[in-house]
Each structure stands twice: as C-alpha cells, then as structure tokens.
A and B are shown apart, each in its own frame.
Chain A
Amino acid sequence: MGRSKFARLSRCNDVASIERSFRDDAGRALATLAKMLGDIEAAEDAIQDAYLVALERWPREGHPKHASAWILTTARHRAIDKLRRERRGREKAERLAALEFGAPSRDPFAEDREMNVIPDDRLGLMFACCHPGLGVEARIALTLRTLGGLSTEEIAEAFLVPSATIAQRLVRVKRKIRDAAIPLDVPAPERLPERLADVCSVLYLIFNEGYLASAGDSLVRRDLCDEAIRLTRVLAHLMPQEPEVMGLLALMLYHHSRRDARSDSDERLIPLAEQDRKLWDDTAIAEANAFMERAARHQFEGPYQLQAAIAAEHARARELGRVDWERIAELYTHLAAIAPSPIVDLNRAVALGFACGPLLGLAALDAIDARALETYHPAYVARADFLRRLGREAEARDAYAAALALTQNARERAFLEAKMLEAGASVTPRDDERDGR
C-alpha cells in the first residue's frame, strides 16, 4: 500500500491506528497475500479494499485486537470473492479458501505481538522482486513499491523518470511474475547464493541512487539511502546467518556515516581525503563495525564484506589520524580476484598511488584495459591526480578536461573545474612527490 493511498484514507477519525497498521505491516500483509495468490497486483487491490472496509467499520465497531490479521483475513476474503466471479478463477479461489492460515509465526525476533499471528513472507517477496528474469530497473521499482511502500509517484521522483514510466514498469513486472509463475518464495538451496547476490545488488543500487543525490534533489531521492538500509536490515533479520548481507549492511552504514561531510554549504562535493572527519556519524560507524564482527564469525568472505572492510579502514583512520593505504590496496587486490571489474582495478590503482607513490599508481592504471574505462570519468580524475602529483601539470589538465566532458552532475563538475584550476596554478609539485614516491 502506498503512502498516496493513505492520504485518501486520512480523513478517518481512527487515523492513528490505521496509520500504524499501514506503516508497520503493509509490506508483510502484502507478502503473505501475494504468496497465497501468486499475484502481487491482485494482492495489492485486495489489501486496499480491506483498508477501505476497515475505514468504514473500525470507527463504528471498534478497533480489532489483531488489526493486521484482520486486514489480511478481510483481504483474503475479498480476493476469494473476486476470483469466484472470474471464469478461470474458481479453482484457484477454492484452493485459497481451503488454505489454513493463522498459524503463529516461529520468528523469535518478532516484537509486534499482532504480527505474530501471521507469518513473515517478506523474504519470498524480496526474492521474487529481485528475480533474474526481471529487468534491473523493474526489480528496483517493484522492491521499493512492495517492500518499501513507496508510491509510484515517489519512485518516479526518486529515479528522475516520469511517473507514467514507473507505473507502466510496475504493471508489466507484476504481470510477468503472475503469468510466468515466478515463485514468491525463497529459492532452492543450490540457487540461494546467486539469488541472494541479486537481492543484495538491487538493495545496493537503491542505496547508490540515494548516495548520488545532492541536497538540491528531492527529499524522497535523498531518503533512498535510508530506505535501502531499512530493507537491508529486514533482509539481515530474515537471513541472520548470511555474512554477505551483514557485509552489505555494514558497507551502507559506513558510506552513510559520511553523509554530512560529503558536501560543503555550497553543495560542492568534498572528496574522502578532504572531508572533515569530525562530521562522520559515530553511531553508524559503530553499528557497521558490529556487523563486520558478526560477519567475520562466518568463514565466507564475499565482495560486500571486502568493500565494507575497505570502508572500515577509512572509518578507522579517523581515530588513528592516517589511512592504511597498503592494507586498502591489499583488500582491493583480494576483491579483484573474487569479483573482477575494471572499476575495482581502478580503485586498486588509486590505493597503490597513495601507498607507494603516484608513479606506481599510474603504472597500475595503465595496466587496465583502456577501453573498459573509456567513458568512466573517475578514471580520468585518478589519472589527473597522479599526473599532478608527478608534476606533469599540462597532462593533468587534459585528463581533468576529459573527465569534465564525461560528467553531467553539477556538483562533480564544480569539483573538477576547481581541480583543473589548481593544476594550472600550482607550478611545482610538492617536494616529497617530485621523485614519484
């Protein structure tokens, strides 16, 4: 159920209790009913109907003891009625009507006594939303819609696309799940690692979209980071034995801890090395550290844990006053081995540049296939930085210009223009870098 639908319901004088019901439980009720129906769209419609019935009856007859279970039961009856009216729905309706439901959840973490009476099926819904048979953009939109409870308009605003596009994308993806019978369930154990990686990747994409947003962007866009963290917490809670989920959550929290230090009052981007580390969020870092410790108790070390370990090095450096670039380069080497990518190679080159001097960094950068990074502007920024530190100012300016030509983001452009000016202004390199150390 979207927040926009809630806006229509808010005239109700029992608004507070319905609001609670919406925020806490809508995702869970939807997951359970969608699994029963094998159809997200039909489940959404039935749950919306149920809320409309609640709106009419609760103020008159009183608030039910188990409001969420009441909503789910009412929605299920609505769905059965609707199926019975359809020619081809009757068989499905009878199956649904016969389904036993109401068994207490075995979830030991469930704090909400109301939700204990219905199972938590959100994990299955998450796997369905992030199914490899769906387009990546559709996965993101559907995850935010069904599990995040964002409205179509909010998703459109967050991803800077027209809401008609998102609406169409959502309709299409929900129908594919229904028509192709994509299971709203946890995949078979032998497929679990790759399918979990798909879920993690969608959550990380949502986070990164929010991370790229600036203060000039809409609030919902900036809130994507919080939403991604919230969803990853749900995933970590439902799959408490998965170190990569803990790694992903830690990675997001480390990045998120720097949110107040990443730009100045004029919206200019501040690179990691120049950030005021006092502005970093201690609580987020401490929580991330705790997740890293939990993840380390498991034997498997995956790409999210390694990226989080790199972020942890930066977070730690704040206390020690210096960054252990050798350790970071080593972690990137490890990461490149298990998750090879030209971007990881680039980051490794940058770390080497700090650990062993710009000459070695530049050599590592030159060793990467140039075509792989041709349109990736951070590669030119890294090159420019190495060249500047080597005193090759003219070449550095060319590299900054190439980076500028590749970026549209106003904040990044301002940052690059300032760097270019610096490269033009400073004639002599710093003494300690002249020899390429």
Chain B
Amino acid sequence: MKYMLLIYTPHDSRPTTPQERAATMPAWEAYGAELRRRKAYIDAAPLAETTSATTVRAHDGKRTVTDGPFAETKEWLGGYYIIDCASLDAAIEAAAMCPAAKYGSIEVRPLVEM
C-alpha cells in the first residue's frame, strides 16, 4: 500500500539562512535513511514557497493562468514523501518520525492503485 505524506508546516518555520538550513539537514537525512532502512521510501521532495505558485485551469477549453494561491492558512504544504507500507498503522509510525511532525502536521493519504 502506497501513501503520500503531505508535510504542512507553519510559514515561519522554514529556515531562512544557509546556516539554518544546514542545521536542519541531518534530521531530514536521518529520516530518509530510516525510511530506506524500512524499505518504505519511494520518493520525496520539498516544495518551493507558495509565493512561487501558479494556478492553471482549462475549463471549457478556456485557459486561465493566475498567480498563487498564496497560503492563507497558518500552515502550508512544504513538501511530500511517498512511502510503501503494509498498513495505515505503519504509515502513521513513519509520519510520526518525520522531523516536521514536531512543529507542523503530516497528512497521510493513500495513493489509489490504478
């Protein structure tokens, strides 16, 4: 069973300086290594800030492209993991180990098998 872990974090929690970023890296690397050790890791990536987001629609053949959306809520989607687990319980264990679980929230969503 595959799950996506959607990582929501508060706006102000993202590191701003290279030093700050470097300080957070070991925890994320250890997390990725643990997922690989459990043979759960499939894919992962951080997302650029919402200020870089563009929204595209092509309803009824008419294309519209707009700036945003900008996160209006307290937390925003900052990245994702795709993992392979035996059950939701295993996915919850994996989500709880994520460094961002300590200050943000992790949404666990099953992928639909096609």
Contacts and interface: CB of A to CB of B under 8 A. Distances in A.
Interface stretch (B20-28, B66-74, B87-95): B87-95
Contacts of B108: 180
A88 B113 CA distance: 9
B92 A183 contact: no
A204 to B, nearest CB: 23
A129 to B, nearest CB: 14
B110 interface: yes
A133 B87 contact: no
B88 A180 contact: yes
A181 interface: yes
Nearest to A127: B89
**Interface range, B side:** 10 to 19
A181 B87 contact: yes
B1 interface: yes
Contacts of B89: 182-183, 187-188, 191
A180 B110 contact: yes
Decide if the interface of chain B is mainly helix, strand, loop or mixed.
loop
A319 interface: no
Nearest to A132: B92
A369 interface: no
A131 B1 CA distance: 18
A181 B88 contact: yes
A188 B85 CA distance: 14
A82 B92 CA distance: 31
Contact of B87 (A88, A179, A183): A183
A181 B1 contact: yes
Contacts of B110: 179-181
B113 A133 contact: no
A188 B90 CA distance: 10
A265 B35 CA distance: 64
Given A88-B113, A181-B85, 18 more contacts: A133-B88, A133-B92, A179-B110, A179-B112, A180-B88, A180-B108, A180-B110, A181-B1, A181-B86, A181-B87, A181-B110, A182-B87, A182-B89, A183-B87, A183-B88, A183-B89, A188-B89, A191-B89
Q: Which 3 A-B pairs have the closest CB atoms?
A: A183-B87, A181-B1, A180-B88
